[in-house]
C-alpha cells in the first residue's frame, strides 16, 4: 500500500534507515512498505542529494521559466521606470514596445510583479466612478469640447501662490495649456485663452466648473469670461456644482500633474512654468494614454479650423426678437420698468423672444439663458426654466 497519510515523513525516514542497513534488497524493502521501486529509488536519490530535508515534499514549481524576464530586460524596464516614476506597468510596456518594437516585452502583469518586488509600486485606493446626473456633450472630434479648470493652488519656495490654469481637448486628452498664474481673475486669465485660440483655433464648447472666472452666481451663471466666449461663438458648458467627477478625465490629468510637476515646488513662477512646459510636452508626446489605446494625445490632435477673429463680432438677433441694451447698472428697460439682468452683460445687447402670452426667453447671441415672466417682471427660477432652455438648445444645435 502507499505511504500512510498521517505519517508520510516518518515512513520515508524508516524506509531510508532500513535501506542503509542493507538487510533487504530494494525490491523486498519496497514490498514490505507497500511502495513501488520507482518511488523507493526516487527517495534514495533525494536523500543522497539533499539529506533528510530531501524526504519532505518539494515545490513543484519549475526551476527554469522559458518566458522569464532576463536581467537585460529587467534593467531596461527599471530604467524606464526610473525615468517615469509615476507610470504604471501598462504605460511602461506601451512606451518600451513603441521605442523598441523588436524586443518581445513581458506582459504588463509581469512588469507589475517586477516593480512590486523592487518596492517601486504604491497601492492606490479604488475610487468609485460616478455617473453624471445630467447630459454633457460627448465629443466626436478634436475641438468639439475643451475642458478648463484651475488645479488647486500651492505655495512656491518664495512664498508666492501658484494657480495652475489647465486646458485640455476632451476628445484627444491633449493638454493645450498648463499655465502658472499668480491670480485667477479675468484680466489675468483672458490673455492665456487668447494665446490658446491663436495657436489651436477655437472649440465649439468649453466645459468648466461653476467657479470664477468661468462662471458666477448671477443670471444663468454668466461671467465676463463666459460672455466673451459666447461672443466668439463658443458655448459654455458647466458641470453640476459639487460634482468634479463629471469632468473626470481633466481631474485625472490634475492628479498626474500634481505628482509629476508640483513636488517639489519651484523657486518662483518662472521656474515653475518651465517645469509645467516640460510636463506638457511629455504628457502630449511621450506618455501613452490607456483610454487612447496607449498612443499619445499629440498623435490624434489637430487644430480647429475655427480661427480666432481679428475683431470681436457683434451680437445680432433675427427679426421678431426684441433687443435691449444692458445699462451700466446691469438693468434693462422693459414695459416701462427697470429689470436687473446681470453685471456680466453690462454694455451688451440681449434678445427677448416671446414664448407665449406671458413668457419671454432671454438670448445672448444664439444661446437661450433665462425665461422672463412678463406678468411679475421677474426671471423664472433656474430649475423651472431649465427644461424650456434645454429644449431650445437642442433645437438650435440640432
Q: Cβ contacts of residue 247 below 8 Å, gap of 6+?
A: 147, 149, 207, 208, 209, 239
pLDDT at 128: 35
Helical residues (DSSP H) of the chain, grouped into ranges:
8-21, 26-33, 37-50, 71-83, 89-99, 108-117, 186-200, 224-231, 248-261, 269-285, 382-397
Dmax over CA atoms of the chain, in Å, equals 126
Is the separation of the CB atoms in 315 and 365 below 8 Å? yes
Question: What are the Cα distances from residue 370, in Å, to 303, 323, 397?
Answer: 33, 15, 17
> Which of the pair, 232 or 21, is modelled with greater confidence?
232
Is the separation of the CB atoms in 242 and 392 below 8 Å? no
pLDDT at 132: 34
Residue 397 binned pLDDT confidence (cut-offs 50, 70, 90): low
Residue 131 binned pLDDT confidence (cut-offs 50, 70, 90): very low
pLDDT at 295 over 80: yes
Q: Average pLDDT, whole number, for the chain?
A: 86
pTM: 0.70
pLDDT at 123: 59
Is the separation of the CB atoms in 259 and 122 below 8 Å? no
Rounded CA Rg of the chain: 35
Is the separation of the CB atoms in 201 and 306 below 8 Å? yes
What distance in Å separates the CA atoms of residue 252 and residue 256, rounded to the nearest whole number?
7
- What cell was used for 75? 534593467
pLDDT at 396: 60
pLDDT at 129 over 50: no
264 preceded by a cis bond (ω within 30 of 0): yes
Q: For residue 29, which of 20, 21, 19 has the smallest C-alpha distance?
A: 19
Amino acid at each position: 500500500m502507499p505511504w500512510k497519510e498521517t505519517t508520510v515523513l516518518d515512513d520515508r525516514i524508516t524506509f531510508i534507515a532500513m535501506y542503509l542497513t542493507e538487510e533487504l534488497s530494494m525490491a523486498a524493502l519496497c514490498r514490505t512498505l507497500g511502495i513501488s521501486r520507482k518511488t523507493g529509488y526516487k527517495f534514495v536519490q533525494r536523500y543522497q542529494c539533499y539529506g533528510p530535508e530531501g524526504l519532505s515534499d518539494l515545490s513543484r514549481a519549475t526551476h527554469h521559466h522559458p518566458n522569464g524576464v532576463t536581467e537585460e530586460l529587467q534593467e531596461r524596464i527599471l530604467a524606464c521606470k526610473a525615468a517615469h516614476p509615476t507610470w504604471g506597468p501598462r504605460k511602461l510596456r506601451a512606451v518600451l514596445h513603441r521605442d523598441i518594437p523588436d524586443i518581445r516585452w513581458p506582459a504588463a502583469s509581469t512588469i507589475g510583479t517586477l516593480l512590486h518586488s523592487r518596492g517601486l509600486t504604491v497601492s492606490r485606493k479604488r475610487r468609485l466612478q460616478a455617473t453624471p446626473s445630467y447630459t454633457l456633450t460627448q465629443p466626436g472630434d478634436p475641438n468639439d469640447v475643451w475642458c478648463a479648470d484651475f488645479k488647486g493652488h500651492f505655495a512656491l519656495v518664495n512664498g508666492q501662490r501658484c494657480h495652475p490654469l489647465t486646458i485640455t481637448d476632451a476628445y484627444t486628452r491633449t493638454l493645450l495649456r498648463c499655465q502658472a498664474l499668480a491670480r485667477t481673475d479675468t484680466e489675468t486669465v483672458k490673455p492665456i485663452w487668447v494665446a490658446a485660440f491663436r495657436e489651436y483655433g477655437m472649440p465649439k464648447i468649453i466645459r468648466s466648473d461653476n467657479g470664477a472666472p468661468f462662471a458666477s452666481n448671477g443670471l444663468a451663471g454668466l461671467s465676463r469670461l463666459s460672455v466673451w466666449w459666447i461672443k466668439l461663438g463658443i458655448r459654455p458648458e458647466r458641470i453640476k456644482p459639487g460634482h468634479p467627477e463629471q469632468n473626470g478625465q481633466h481631474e485625472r490629468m490634475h492628479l498626474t500633474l500634481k505628482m509629476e510637476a508640483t513636488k517639489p515646488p519651484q523657486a518662483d513662477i518662472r521656474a515653475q512654468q518651465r517645469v509645467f512646459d516640460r510636463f506638457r510636452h511629455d504628457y502630449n508626446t511621450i506618455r501613452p494614454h490607456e483610454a487612447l489605446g496607449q498612443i499619445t494625445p499629440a498623435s490624434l490632435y489637430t487644430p480647429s479650423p475655427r480661427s480666432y477673429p481679428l475683431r470681436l463680432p457683434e451680437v445680432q438677433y433675427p427679426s421678431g426678437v426684441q433687443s435691449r441694451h444692458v445699462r451700466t447698472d446691469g438693468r434693462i428697460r422693459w414695459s416701462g420698468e427697470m429689470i436687473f439682468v446681470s453685471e456680466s452683460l453690462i454694455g451688451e445687447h440681449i434678445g427677448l423672444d416671446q414664448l407665449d402670452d406671458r413668457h419671454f426667453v432671454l438670448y445672448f447671441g444664439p444661446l437661450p439663458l433665462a425665461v422672463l415672466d412678463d406678468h411679475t417682471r421677474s426671471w423664472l427660477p433656474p430649475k423651472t426654466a431649465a427644461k424650456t432652455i434645454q429644449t431650445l438648445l437642442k433645437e438650435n444645435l440640432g
